[in-house]
Amino acid sequence: MQIRAIGFDYAGVISGRPGSEFNNDISKILQVSVQEFKTSFFKFNKLVNTAQISRKDFWQKVLAELNRQNKYEDVIAFVNGQSMHSINANMIALADRLRELGYKVGLLTNNAAEVREKFEEIGIVKHFDAIVISAEIGYCKPDRKAFEIFFEQLGAEPHEAVFIDDTEQSLINASEIGFYPILFTSYKTLVDHLKSIGVTTWIRVPE
């Protein structure tokens, strides 16, 4: 496998906590199973990530689907309390080093268009060769078109790329599209996985 490009998700990988932790916590608030929450969440996720509905409408639809409309204020308080832009310094260092080693490194995020301004504000853009935001292109992961646009901007073919995401749903079309998927759970496990496929062997793993 000849890898030329490495793609990263943003929320749950470069910033904040992995999606599995978010899902577990919010499922407890709603008193539903994680699978019930994920099913409802991803039913409407594309609409908000392609700017067809607002964040408020999105959560109202999710909660109505789960018959938990009375939990709206609790959910919004929880979501607003998350550090969505708390950057993982290890991940940024990893992205920088991969670029130094000659890999093309990009960010593909299911997110609102206004997040680009936030990326500029916090200095994220200088660490990546390409940043693709779902609301700007009208497609979101796992849509094939979203990945095609992303890899085109990176200047790589899908079979030459790895993509790292904290959500299994975003990676379900990996074999069909042709890229190598890595489900992110922690920095250490990611480093180990990258080493196992020969991407690099330089990276220090914290004790």
Confidence of residue 135 (pLDDT cuts 50, 70, 90): very high
Residue with tokens 């890999």: 103
Confidence of residue 114 (pLDDT cuts 50, 70, 90): confident
Higher pLDDT, residue 46 or 58: 58
The reported pLDDT for the residue numbered 6 is 97
Give the mean pLDDT of 77-82.
85
The reported pLDDT for the residue numbered 16 is 84
| Contact (CB, 8 A) for 45 and 53 | no
CA–CA dist 134, 46 (Å, integer): 9
Q: Is the pLDDT of residue 71 over 60?
A: yes
CA–CA dist 112, 127 (Å, integer): 20
Residue 78: how many other CB atoms lie within 10 Å: 16
CA–CA dist 45, 34 (Å, integer): 16
Give the mean pLDDT of 107-129.
93
The mean pLDDT of the chain is: 91
| Contact (CB, 8 A) for 178 and 4 | no
The reported pLDDT for the residue numbered 45 is 87
Q: Is the pLDDT of residue 203 over 70?
A: no
CA–CA dist 82, 92 (Å, integer): 20
Confidence of residue 50 (pLDDT cuts 50, 70, 90): confident
Q: What Cα–Cα distance (Å) separates residue 202 from each residue in 86, 98, 129, 135? A: 25, 10, 21, 36
The pLDDT tens digits of the residues spanning 138-185 come to 999 999 999 999 999 999 999 999 999 999 999 999 999 999 999 999
The two tokens of residue 23 are 């899902």
Residue with tokens 């109505």: 64
| Contact (CB, 8 A) for 177 and 144 | yes
What is the CATH code of the structural domain delimited by 5-16+84-196?
Answer: 3.40.50.1000
The reported pLDDT for the residue numbered 189 is 94
The pLDDT tens digits of the residues spanning 4-29 come to 999 999 999 999 888 888 899 999 99
Q: Is the pLDDT of residue 111 over 50?
A: yes
Q: Where are the domains of the chain?
A: 5-16+84-196, 19-80
CA–CA dist 149, 154 (Å, integer): 9
Q: Is the pLDDT of residue 205 over 70?
A: no
Residue with tokens 């990276």: 203
Q: Report pTM.
A: 0.85
CA–CA dist 189, 187 (Å, integer): 6
Q: Which of 139, 80, 153 is nearest to 110 (CA)?
A: 139
Confidence of residue 85 (pLDDT cuts 50, 70, 90): low
